[in-house]
């Protein structure tokens, strides 16, 4: 563990818990954090820029990335592939900048297998009733879809013990401050600092 390297922060939690909202608010408060850019095989939408919004790949290119272990995680969704390029993350961390990855629970567990030194944050709802209210409030879900999402949320909450920290998303500002405190504490861990001080001792 090296203090000169950035931290990989993996933020995940059940659908409807507010991952995107919290991640956006956190990046506005900590603009030094780099948002992990995903690779995808879907076509760019109007205004989207390659390398900024996504790394746009053909299915053949994406398949090659899978075969060459160039992705920290990947999944297929509605006929298109999405994944997190390892190279982008590793190069950004090596430059000393922190990277945040906002992702579903199953993807986060894939990342943990390949990058266990990451910091894994589980964003939890205040309670399941509030989570259901948020999903219903979207106005885009059928009753069956809501039942399925709630069943999945319960299963994902059972996986909470795979994470390093749990942050309840009751008030966005409060959740952001807790995550900032976690980031500060992680940077101050002795494992990240001791190399620097040992180097000073050798130089004296």
Is 27 in contact with 100 (CB distance < 8 Å)?
yes
Which residue bears the tokens 């013990």?
A: 161
Is the backbone of residue 195 left (phi > 0), alpha (psi -120 to 50) or beta? alpha
Which residue bears the tokens 């059928």?
A: 142
Of 12, 14, 23, nearest in space to 127 by CA: 14
Query: Tokens for 159?
Result: 């996986």
Percentage of the chain surpassing pLDDT 70? 97
- Predicted local distance difference test score (pLDDT) of residue 1: 60
- Predicted local distance difference test score (pLDDT) of residue 177: 96
- Predicted local distance difference test score (pLDDT) of residue 139: 72
In this structure, what are the phi and psi dihedrals at residue 72, rounded to the nearest 5 degrees? -75, -30
Alpha-helix residue ranges (DSSP H) falling in 68-203: 86-94, 105-114, 128-137, 143-157, 172-187, 190-203
Domains of the chain in start order, with CATH, are 1-33+98-204 (3.40.50.300), 37-97 (3.30.63.10)
Name the pairing type of β-strands 165-168 and 119-124.
parallel
Query: CA–CA separation, 101 vs 181, rounded Å?
Result: 17
Residue segments in the chain with a per-residue pLDDT below the cut of 70: 1-3, 78, 204
Of 56, 54, 59, 50, nearest in space to 38 by CA: 54
- Predicted local distance difference test score (pLDDT) of residue 204: 67
- Predicted local distance difference test score (pLDDT) of residue 136: 82
């Amino acid at each position: 563990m090296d203090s000169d390297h950035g931290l990989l922060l993996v933020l995940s939690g059940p659908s409807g818990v507010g991952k995107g909202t919290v991640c956006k608010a956190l990046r506005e408060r900590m603009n030094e954090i780099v948002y992990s850019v995903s690779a995808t095989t879907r076509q760019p939408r109007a205004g989207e820029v390659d390398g900024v919004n996504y790394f746009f790949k053909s299915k053949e290119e994406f398949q090659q990335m899978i075969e060459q272990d160039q992705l920290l995680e990947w999944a297929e969704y509605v006929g298109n592939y999405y994944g997190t390029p390892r190279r982008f993350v590793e190069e950004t961390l090596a430059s000393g900048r922190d990277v945040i990855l906002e992702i579903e629970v199953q993807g986060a567990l894939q990342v943990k297998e390949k990058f266990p030194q990451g910091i894994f944050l589980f964003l939890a709802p205040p309670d399941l009733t509030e989570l259901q209210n948020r999903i219903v409030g979207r106005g885009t879900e059928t009753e069956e879809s809501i039942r399925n999402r709630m069943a999945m949320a319960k299963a994902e909450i059972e996986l909470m013990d795979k994470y390093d920290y749990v942050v309840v998303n009751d008030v966005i500002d409060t959740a952001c401050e807790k995550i900032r405190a976690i980031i500060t504490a992680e940077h101050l861990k002795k494992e990240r600092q001791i190399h620097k001080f040992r180097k000073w001792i050798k130089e004296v």
